[in-house]
C-alpha cells in the first residue's frame, strides 16, 4: 500500500493479518521440530529414526525432499518471480507466502525423511558429546539472534501484515548492518549450518543433510549478495568489503 492509497476494506486487511500470523506460527513450529529432527533429540521422528530401506532409495528420497525446499525457497526470493506472481496481491502476502512455503517444505522433510544409519561417530553421553551438543545449540541461537538483528518481525512477515492492517505504507527496503551484521555478513546462515552440522551422533543420513544444506547456503548466499548489491549499490559494496562472509570482522565500525 503506497502513501495516499485509499484504505483497503477491513475484511481484506484482517485476512492479510491472519494469514501473516498463521504463516509465522507454522514456521516457528516447523523450525522447532527441525532443531529436534536434525539434532536427533526430543521427538520420535528424527534424521536417524524410521524404517531403514535400501541406501540408494533413501538417498534419492532425501535429496528430493531437500530440493523441494531449496528450489522454491530460492526461486521465490528472486525479484522477477515476485513481480510475476505477486504483483496483484497485497505486499505482505508475498513475504508470508514465502514463510508458509518454507514451513510446509520443512515439515515434508521431517515427515518423509528416510534414515541412512551408518555411523561415522557416536559420542553421545560423553563430555565430548555434551560439548558438540552445546556448540550445535549455540549455532541455533546465533541464527535466531541474527534474525532479530535483521528485523525478525519484518523478515518473517509480521510487521508488513500489521502495517497493512493499520493502513500504513510498506517500509522501504534498507540495508541493515546493525548488531551482529556489523561483524558478520551472514550470521543466520552460519548459525543454521552450525546447528545442523555439529552433532554428537553423526550418521550417513546426517552427513547428507549437512552437505546438501551447506551447498544450498553457498549457492543461495551468492544470489542473495547479487540482489543486495543491485538494490543497495555502493553502500553494499562497501559493507561487503569491510565485513567478511562467515568470519568476524576485526575492524571497528
Closest CA to 179 of 154, 147, 137: 147
pLDDT score of 71 more than 90: no
pLDDT of residue 145: 95
pLDDT of residue 226: 87
- CA 96-101-104 angle, to 5 degrees, is 125
Three-state DSSP state, 50: coil
pLDDT bracket for residue 4 (50, 70, 90): very low
Q: Which residues make Cβ contacts (< 8 Å) with residue 59, sequence separation at least 6?
A: 116, 208
pLDDT bracket for residue 172 (50, 70, 90): confident
Worst-scoring range by mean pLDDT, 31-35, 96-100, 230-234?
Answer: 230-234
Residue bearing the bigger pLDDT, 174 or 135: 135
- The grid coordinates of residue 55 equal 541406501
pLDDT of residue 224: 84
Using one digit for the tens of pLDDT, what is the confidence trace for 30-60?
Answer: 999 999 999 988 777 899 998 899 999 999 9
Worst-scoring range by mean pLDDT, 20-34, 46-60, 154-168, 176-190?
Answer: 176-190
3-state secondary structure 189-224: HHHHHHHHHCCCEEEHHHHHHHHHHHHHHHHHHHHH
pLDDT score of 213 more than 60: yes
pLDDT of residue 107: 95
Q: Which residues make Cβ contacts (< 8 Å) with residue 18, sequence separation at least 6?
A: none
Does an H or E element contain 121, and which?
Answer: strand 119-122
Separation of CA 156 from chain center: 10
Among left, alpha and beta (phi > 0; psi -120 to 50; other), residue 198 is: beta
Q: Among all chains, which residue has been given the C-alpha cell 504463516?
A: 23
pLDDT of residue 79: 66
Gyration radius of the chain's alpha carbons: 20
Mean pLDDT of the chain: 87
Rounded to the nearest 10 degrees, what angle do helices 187-197 and 127-150 cross at?
160
Whole-angstrom distance between the N-terminal and C-terminal Cα of the chain? 35
pLDDT bracket for residue 77 (50, 70, 90): low
Using one digit for the tens of pLDDT, what is the confidence trace for 146-160?
Answer: 999 988 999 899 999
DSSP string, 141-166: HHHHHHHHHH-HHHHTTHHHHHHHHH
Amino acid at each position: 500500500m503506497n502513501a495516499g492509497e485509499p484504505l483497503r476494506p477491513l475484511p481484506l486487511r484482517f485476512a492479510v493479518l491472519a494469514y501473516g500470523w498463521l504463516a509465522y506460527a507454522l514456521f516457528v513450529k516447523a523450525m522447532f521440530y527441525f532443531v529436534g529432527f536434525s539434532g536427533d533429540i526430543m521427538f520420535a521422528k528424527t534424521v536417524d529414526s524410521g524404517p531403514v530401506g535400501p541406501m540408494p532409495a533413501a538417498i534419492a528420497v532425501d535429496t528430493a525432499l531437500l530440493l523441494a525446499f531449496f528450489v522454491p525457497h530460492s526461486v521465490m526470493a528472486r525479484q522477477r518471480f515476485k513481480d510475476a506472481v505477486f504483483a496483484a496481491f497485497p505486499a505482505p502476502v508475498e513475504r508470508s507466502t514465502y514463510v508458509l512455503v518454507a514451513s510446509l517444505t520443512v515439515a515434508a522433510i521431517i515427515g518423509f525423511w528416510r534414515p541412512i544409519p551408518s555411523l561415522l561417530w557416536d559420542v553421545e553421553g560423553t563430555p565430548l558429546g555434551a560439548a558438540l551438543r552445546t556448540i550445535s545449540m549455540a549455532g541455533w541461537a546465533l541464527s535466531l539472534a541474527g534474525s532479530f538483528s535483521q528485523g525478525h518481525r519484518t523478515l518473517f512477515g509480521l510487521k508488513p501484515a500489521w502495517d497493512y492492517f493499520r493502513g500504513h505504507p510498506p517500509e522501504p527496503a534498507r540495508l541493515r548492518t546493525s548488531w551482529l551484521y556489523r561483524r558478520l555478513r551472514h550470521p543466520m546462515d552460519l548459525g543454521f549450518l552450525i546447528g545442523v552440522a555439529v552433532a554428537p551422533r553423526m550418521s550417513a543420513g546426517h552427513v547428507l543433510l549437512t552437505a546438501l544444506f551447506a551447498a544450498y547456503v553457498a549457492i543461495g548466499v551468492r544470489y542473495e549478495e547479487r540482489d543486495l548489491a543491485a538494490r543497495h549499490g555502493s553502500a553494499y559494496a562497501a559493507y561487503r568489503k569491510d565485513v567478511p562472509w562467515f568470519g568476524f570482522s576485526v575492524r571497528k565500525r
